[in-house]
């Protein structure tokens, strides 16, 4: 099924698609040379396969959806729109951020820049933990091993990300050796899975304070991870990661406190400023 997902322009989509390509987890996702990004997305009746491609001349993202049930298309469409930040009106955001000298040239270069969201809070949290203090390539490798070992086959060689209950039931040493993780990293992922299977809420509609507190209560998850997941999962346009290394380098500051002080002037659009600065540095 093909679905057209219109958006409000402008939409500089190349950085967003670059982030999708850079974080592609084999088995869960595929990024093709023509820019089509395909991944598994969970629907009400089970996992679906969704491919997205921007049609900039026509002002929409084309989504090709293979749902588990035809009634899932509306819910899947809403998830994809949230993931790609397609419901935002970029004009007031660009106007506000353009008033700041450090951001004005970035906005002029990439008008309508979107935030990369999440299709599933638990998946994003686990992949973020796997990526802590390792290279992006290593993080992708860990994620691919996890999906291949514990994911549910869907279509055409794709696997759904494992449910929290599946990971929580694993023996720590088995999980560690299968993925090639450190013991501490394995324990953090399994603690996250156990918490999620016991009611830790990681959905986009979770209260931000509850979301952050629940994550910080887990071993191996610190403020940066909690802040980063708030940006990616909750979709708060003012969410921010003051202690992010790439952000501090982009701002030319040494501490998270200095970054936070500078960012006060960007409220209530700090998440968009963050993606502009990340894009300038990393993509």
Boundaries of every domain in the chain:
2-87, 121-234
- E-strand ranges in 56-143 read 60-66
Q: Which two tokens stand for residue 60?
A: 């929409």
Mean pLDDT over all residues of the chain?
Answer: 96
Q: What does CATH list as the number for 2-87?
A: 3.30.310.20
Q: Which two tokens stand for residue 268?
A: 């209530």
Instruction: Identify the CA nearest to 129 among candidates 172, 193, 74.
Output: 193
Cα 179 to Cα 53: distance, rounded to the nearest angstrom: 31
DSSP state of 9: S
pTM score of the predicted model: 0.96
- Residue range 3-56, pLDDT digits in tens: 999 999 999 999 999 999 999 999 999 999 999 999 999 999 999 999 999 999
Helix (H), strand (E), coil (C) string for 177-243: HHHCCCHHHHHHHHHHHHHHHCCCCCCCCCCHHHHHHHHHCCCCCCHHHHHHHHHHHHCCCCCCCCC
Determine the topology of domain 121-234 in CATH: Endonuclease III; domain 1 (1.10.340)
């Amino acid at each position: 099924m093909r679905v057209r997902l219109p958006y409000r322009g402008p939409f500089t989509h190349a950085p967003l698609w670059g982030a999708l390509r850079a974080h592609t987890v084999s088995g869960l996702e595929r990024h093709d040379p023509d820019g089509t990004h395909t991944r598994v997305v969970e629907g009400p009746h089970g996992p679906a396969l969704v491919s997205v491609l921007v049609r900039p001349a026509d002002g929409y993202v084309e989504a090709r959806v293979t749902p588990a049930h035809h009634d899932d298309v509306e819910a899947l469409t809403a998830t994809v729109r949230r993931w790609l930040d397609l419901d935002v009106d970029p004009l007031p955001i660009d106007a506000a951020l353009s008033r700041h000298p450090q951001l004005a040239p970035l906005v002029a270069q990439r008008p309508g820049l979107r935030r990369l969201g999440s299709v599933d809070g638990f998946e994003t949290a686990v992949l973020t933990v796997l990526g802590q203090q390792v290279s992006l390539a290593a993080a992708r490798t860990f994620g691919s091993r996890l999906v291949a070992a514990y994911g549910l086959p869907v279509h055409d060689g794709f696997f759904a990300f494992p449910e929290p209950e599946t990971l929580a039931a694993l023996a720590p040493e088995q999980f560690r050796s299968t993925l090639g993780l450190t013991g501490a990293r394995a324990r953090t992922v399994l603690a996250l899975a156990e918490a999620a299977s016991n009611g830790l809420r990681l959905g986009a509609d979770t209260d931000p304070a509850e979301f952050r507190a629940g994550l910080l209560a887990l071993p191996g998850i610190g403020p940066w991870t909690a802040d980063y997941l708030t940006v990616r999962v909750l979709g708060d346009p003012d969410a921010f990661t003051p202690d992010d290394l790439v952000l501090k380098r982009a701002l030319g500051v040494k501490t998270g406190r200095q970054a936070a002080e500078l960012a006060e002037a960007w409220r209530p659009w700090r998440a968009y400023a963050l993606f502009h600065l990340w894009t300038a540095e990393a993509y």
